[in-house]
Structure 1
Amino acid sequence: MNTSRRTFLKQSSFALAGVSLLSNRLFAAAAASNEITGIQLYSVRDDMKKDPSGTLKQLADMGYKYVEHANYVNGKFYGYAPVDFKKLLDDLGLKMYSGHTVMNKQDWDEAKNDFTDKWKQTVADAAIVGQQYVISPWLDESMRNNMSDFKRYMDVFNKCGELCKKSGMKFGYHNHNFEFSTKLDGVRLYDLILKNTDPDLVAQQLDMGNMYEAGGIAMDVVKQYPGRFELMHVKDEIKSKNPGEMGGGYESTVLGKGVIPVKEVIDYGRNKGGTTQFIIEQESYQDKTPLECAKEDLRIMKGWGY
């Protein structure tokens, strides 16, 4: 019996839909297998300053498996040499796939057209402790005054991506608020950062809380740039009696208690945005201790399926 073209196309479309559905499920499964929920150690910065090993043990006992550092100073992580800090993490069953270290203007030697030995050592030490991402959480103010300087520095970002790639890692950038309040030639700085960095070399870590007081809406951003946010800082915000963390009258709070639709944003990132690393960060505590907040934030994330 002959099959009409219409029937053939209809049957083919069903077959293609099935393949597409299977592919989507396989992609989702692969993404889930690489997915982590961790904590930025700046959330417990005072505790880490007083007792790094004891604080990490408390976090591990809470159920954390992943941490992100915010303290690499003079070649050491929280006072530990890279090899020793890696052992401390391993002994506690912790992994540290990302960390914050500012790449300053002076880390690039214009005369040599190369990174300084100090920055190269920073990258090497990150590899020793097992990082997958070397994240700079700042953009030098001198590099955001005019378009030519800005674009030149974005080239340095891409070059740092190439440097990190040699050690099996990726360079990354983490936003604050000025990226959303500053414009160059009428274009928002954050848009310029994403348009002038190679996504294969430079990952973006979206901090959904920092941007809020400057008018940045996390959900709008992740929809505008699908697949660009491999990492997220999971953060909620409430109106503050003080100037707030970014100076705009807002401070971070326990997840789900503030004005950010946190679960919607991370769900979108997980399902459509290519996000696999969800890093909890809380910098203000509303009469609770940082460790109490860290425990509650993890409980909420687990309740959300993370």
Structure 2
Amino acid sequence: MNTRRQFLRQSTIFAAAALAMPGDIFAAAPKSYFGVQLYTLRKEMEKDPVGTLEKVAKLGYTAVETYGYKDGKWFGLSVAEFKNVLKANKLSSPSGHTFPGQFFLSGNWRAEWTQAVKDAKSIGQQFIVVPYLDAKFRDLDTYKKLAPALNEAGKIAKANGLKLAYHNHDFEFANQNGQTGFDILVASTDPKLVSFELDIYWATKAGFDAVELFKKHPGRFTMWHVKYMDNTTEKKFTEVGNGTIDFKTIFQHKKVSGMKYWFVEQDICPGSPLDSIQQSITNLKTKIL
């Protein structure tokens, strides 16, 4: 028979274990979480999305970030179909790229945005991302118009249990009369509604240090693109671990960043993208994390 002392001791152990259990297994244990942006595999996804996702999972990735949402589908798969494929391969999709920034500058975006948010929620996504801004919209006045639109879009996302994030390239960091588009977006958006997915390659190429950005804007960078730059004058894309960006140090600052998820991305691969992301996950496991 258990004594009261034994019961209390067991209760304490169970309580401690419960506190130690992560609310999100991917965010709590970086070495058990490996994310990839599916744009890296865009040709493969267009040809065979189901088979490609199976290969991604077999390589050891546990999460995918989507792109290409259109008319309620991803890669030609309905919400239910895509969700089932993810489940069958034990993959999560915490984030997805949807509409570009100029989408929110038109007068009639709210209904389509609301449906996209609901679809993203249905497949388990927590973040819905603005991935790009076309060249003709990159002046300071347009950034000033975009920021309040992102706040409004963020309110719609929040009402449906998601959060909006903005993904950068290098052009947001271009100096325009002493100011940048990124300066405007980070200062004029509500942190409770809008966060940022820092593409560390593009920020680095623009001359900015990721860790310094984290320190300047703590908590704003809830996601990262882990993308490497090679050691050439062209600063080409390369596999994670084969280039010049010090991701080992960057990962040590994930708390100040506010990072919850990260995704390997390689826009251009020298050969098979599957070979490249395999090399990236191997280097992440052995050299960085």
Normalized against structure 2, the TM-score is what?
Answer: 0.83
Q: Determine the C-alpha separation between the residues in 2 that align with 1:108 and 1:115.
A: 8
Deviation of residue 263 (structure 1)?
A: 1.7
Q: Residue deviations 1:197-228, cap 9 Å, x none?
A: 11111111000102233223223222222221
Deviation of residue 107 (structure 1)?
A: 4.4
Q: Determine the C-alpha separation between the residues in 2 that align with 1:37 and 1:266.
A: 13
Match of 1:191 in 2: 183
Answering whether residue 234 of structure 2 is matched by residue 280 of structure 1, we say no
Answering whether residue 252 of structure 2 is matched by residue 267 of structure 1, we say yes
Q: Residue deviations 1:241-278, cap 9 Å, x none?
A: 8xxxxxxx322111121121122112212x43221211
Match of 1:209 in 2: 201
**Letter in structure 1 aligned against 2:236:** E
Q: Determine the C-alpha separation between the residues in 1 that align with 2:95 and 2:204.
A: 23
- Mark the runs of 5 or more structure 1 residues left unpaired by the alignment: 1-25, 242-248
**Percent of residue pairs bearing the same amino acid type:** 33
Counterparts in 2 of 1:239-254, with a 5 A limit?
249-254=234-239
- Mark the runs of 5 or more structure 2 residues left unpaired by the alignment: 1-18
**Matched residue pairs, number?**
266
Confirm or deny: 8 A CA contact 1:34 1:276 kept in the other structure: no
Deviation of residue 80 (structure 1)?
A: 0.4
Counterparts in 2 of 1:64-75, with a 5 A limit?
64-75=61-72
Deviation of residue 178 (structure 1)?
A: 0.3
Q: Residue deviations 1:85-137, cap 9 Å, x none?
A: 11111111111010111244344554xxx743222221121111111000011
Deviation of residue 283 (structure 1)?
A: 1.9
Note the aligned Cα RMSD (angstroms): 2.4
- Larger Rg: 1 or 2? 1
**Letter in structure 1 aligned against 2:269:** Y
**Letter in structure 1 aligned against 2:124:** G
Q: Determine the C-alpha separation between the residues in 1 that align with 2:156 and 2:185.
A: 19
- Aligned match of 2:76 in 74, 79, 91? 79
Answering whether residue 165 of structure 2 is matched by residue 172 of structure 1, we say yes
**Letter in structure 2 aligned against 1:238:** D
Confirm or deny: 8 A CA contact 2:197 2:225 kept in the other structure: yes
Counterparts in 2 of 1:32-71, with a 5 A limit?
32-33=27-28, 36-71=33-68
Confirm or deny: 8 A CA contact 1:181 1:215 kept in the other structure: no
Deviation of residue 43 (structure 1)?
A: 1.2
Normalized against structure 1, the TM-score is what?
Answer: 0.79
Q: Residue deviations 1:21-67, cap 9 Å, x none?
A: xxxxx99x778527543000011111111111111001111111100
Deviation of residue 73 (structure 1)?
A: 2.2
